[in-house]
Amino acid sequence: MASNRTLKVLSFVAGAAAMAAAAPTTAVAALPRDNAGSAAFAAPGVPDYDQGVRTRPYIEEARSRAAAAAAPSGVELVPPAPEDGSVWISVGKDDLSHPAGMSLPLGVPVMSSARASVFRVAEDRLPQIAAQMHEKFHKCGGFFAHSTQAEAEADLKAPPSTTGGPYSVDQAAWVKPMVERVKEAELRSTIETLAGYNNRYYTADTGAAAANWIAGRWAKLAEGAPGASVRLFNHSGWKQPSVILTIPGSESPQEVVVLGGHLDSISGYWGGAGARAPGADDNASGIAVLTEAVRILGERGFRPKRTIQVMGYAAEEVGLRGSAEVAKSYQGSGAKVVGVIQFDMTNFAGSGEAIYLLTDNVDSALTTYLAKLVDAYTGVGAAQTRCGYGCSDHASWTRSGFPASAAFESAFDTMNHNIHSDKDTLGNSGGNAEHSVAFAKLAVAFAVETAKPAGSAKLADAAQPKGGASR
């Protein structure tokens, strides 16, 4: 039971909140800020009122929440002064309007729309935000990080529409023998190797080392594919590069088929360069799927009509930063991307054997095509699920106007809840890579059926993504 003193203070704070809600919002005061420029009292805990309490933070919190709720969409509130070590992030309105979203350590939004809100936060808060997005919404990611305010504000608008296809499934003579080469032991070996790094965090030496290992491994496995090459896509803001393997097209090299997954890992609220983050499922499993596809394409000496690119993205866990830079560079250079598939978490059978295809932030024609590939070549069924705003790297491609899709390990509400912790180990995903086998088959099928073998029937015209580059 609360004491009389407690009840009086609670009544005072409640009254302050009511007054704040009724106050005009033309001059909005920002929350108290710490040395990093982030809101110091964005989510105050429950104090011991009987021991005395500073009420000002709670009054300011009430004022800020009332102002944020009252501000019309698209109206700028109070942007914090530019500070070193901070980034802009955008978070979806569905998450922000959820009761759990009220405690995210974000402060007051700078801009808002019906789609999302933009915040400026200290870069070292990103692991905490990522951890809370996982804990509260079971999301891997769940927000975009941006280098400039203008870039963040552009994300307040809906992404450009895409029109993928036409896509055809007609290369069974090639695909079926190739998918039979998928080996669980190879997938397991890659997962174990990557999980063996202390972490693959984007600013850690081990994160850069893991990317270099992937680059070397892919280069070796792809030696049999004509003209194959590997390069590092370096990012100016952090150590870890993204990795891109290219198998050039023989007839339509300007048309690009992308298979991707993120290579970084993260752990805990204050996880960073020193935290233990094996990331066996999230996302060593996705990189293992891509690596197995590279191995089989290389062994077969596959020569595609269209260019195939296999990508391992840096810094996904802190706002899809690596894939966003890659996709933006492709948009800016006039690249003609025929289709993108994302593999993020493939080895936890939370909903049985099926491959779950995401239905939000994806191209519908490409997703329908994926379902046909699953049925034709993987030996399991296709199901559907949703993952929300900015949940993985396919959203970066969608935002840049390219047709993208994603394959996931389970229904979203039965995914692996050991991720983003030191418990994300192979042992906690069953001790083997059996669930990833079907995903590796899908990766091989996607590469071959979308890029088509050299010398096969004439390619259908690739769709031009609206908002993308000219053909």
| Single-letter amino acid code for the residue at 227 | G
DSSP summary character for residue 304: B
The beta-carbon contacts of 210-219 under 8 Å, at least 24 apart in sequence, are: 210/240, 210/263, 211/240, 211/241, 211/242, 211/243, 211/263, 211/312, 211/314, 212/241, 214/243, 214/263, 214/287, 214/291, 214/312, 215/243, 217/190, 217/291, 218/243, 218/245, 218/291, 218/294, 218/310, 219/245
Model confidence, pTM = 0.78
Torsion 228-233-234-240 (CA) sign = negative
Strands 252-262 and 306-313: parallel
Residues noted as catalytic: 262, 282, 316-317, 344, 420
What pLDDT score was predicted for residue 327? Answer: 97
The pLDDT, as a whole number, for residue 175 is 98
Q: What is the dihedral of CA 130, 57, 62, 12, to 10 degrees?
A: 140
Could you tell me the two tokens for 201? 């965090």
Rg (alpha carbons) of the chain, rounded to whole number: 23
The domains located in the chain, with CATH, are: 4-154 (no CATH), 172-451 (3.40.630.10)
User: 343 with 260: CB under 8 angstroms?
Assistant: yes
Residue 160: both structure tokens together: 């450009």
What values do phi and psi take at 182, rounded to 5? -65, 130
Angstrom distance (rounded) from CA 419 to CA 348: 11
pLDDT tens profile 151-189? 888 888 888 888 888 999 999 999 999 999 999 999 999
The pLDDT score that the predictor gives to residue 84 is 60
Q: Which residues of the chain have pLDDT under 50?
A: 1-83, 461-471
Quick one: pLDDT at residue 27? Answer: 30
pLDDT value at position 24?
Answer: 34
Q: Which two tokens stand for residue 274?
A: 């020193």
Task: Return the pLDDT at 448.
Answer: 98
**pLDDT tens, position by position, 119-155:** 999 988 888 888 888 777 766 678 889 888 888 888 8
According to DSSP, residue 309 is labeled E
Spatial distance between the Cα atoms of 392 and 372, rounded to a whole number of angstroms: 23
pLDDT the model gives residue 458: 61
